[in-house]
Amino acid sequence: MAEPIATIIMPTLDLDMAAQTSRLAKKTAGVPVSIFLYWDFKMRGAVKSSNALFKAALHMESPYIVYLNDDTVPQQQNWLKLLLKGLCQNENYGMACPSGNCSMPPQRTGRPGDPFKVHVVNKPLAWFCAVVKRKCLLDVGLFDERFKHYGDESDWLQRAFRKGWKQIWVQGVFIKHLRAGGGNDPNARLRNQWAKQDQRLYRRKWVHGKKGQVKGAK
């Protein structure tokens, strides 16, 4: 069996959904992967779960770590192989995200079947799926655990940008996000509570200019 070159991590509140997503992700990735799940049965929020998974993934020493939501449908063949193809084009590229049915531009403009194209994006993208270089994660560090469930990725990206890492959107990879927009979510009330807390923290921590460029942190 080939040595995994990427470790997929998946925090979850729904083990059945996570297991289904994991099987599909491994089948369609196009490269050898290992997969770690973390069941947040104590309902502590995705940030603590994600950091535990990041630590485990770093011990695996694979050069790439893939953050994947449990409610995604990675059915496109070679989805991860293509994301890695984009990420390897420049040593300063630290993280890569695909298109998907999310609210975040420019990802939401992508469509299944789009041609492969790499775009550098200087503002946070949605992390329903994101590939991070191991050396980038080691340089930037883990998520800020003052966040519970939301805003942690955007905060992490701002820190990465300050260290000179670039983020890319790989048009040509499309991953469906089932709960994009929050519909059909049995934990919606708890997630909404977390969202309000995390939004307040993010606003306190970062001050944005007219074009969304970070001016400083509080």
Class of domain 6-217: alpha beta
The domain spans of the chain are 6-217
Burial of 187 (0-12, 13-18, 19+ CB in 10 A): middle
The greatest distance separating any two alpha carbons of the chain, rounded to the nearest whole angstrom, comes to 51
Q: Which residues pair with 214 in a beta bridge?
A: 208
Share of the chain above pLDDT 70, in %: 90
**Model confidence at 198: pLDDT above 60:** yes
Share of the chain above pLDDT 90, in %: 67
> How many C-beta atoms lie closer than 10 Å to residue 116's C-beta?
11
Confidence label for 211 from pLDDT (cuts 50, 70 and 90): very low
Ranges 14-23, 63-72, 181-190: which has the least confidence:
181-190
Confidence label for 3 from pLDDT (cuts 50, 70 and 90): confident
Q: Return the ∠ at Cα 40 (arms to 35 and 44), rounded to 5°.
A: 135
**Model confidence at 143: pLDDT above 50:** yes
Q: Which of 105, 86, 70, 97 is nearest to 160 (CA)?
A: 97
DSSP labels, 138-160: HHH-S--TT-SSSSHHHHHHHHH
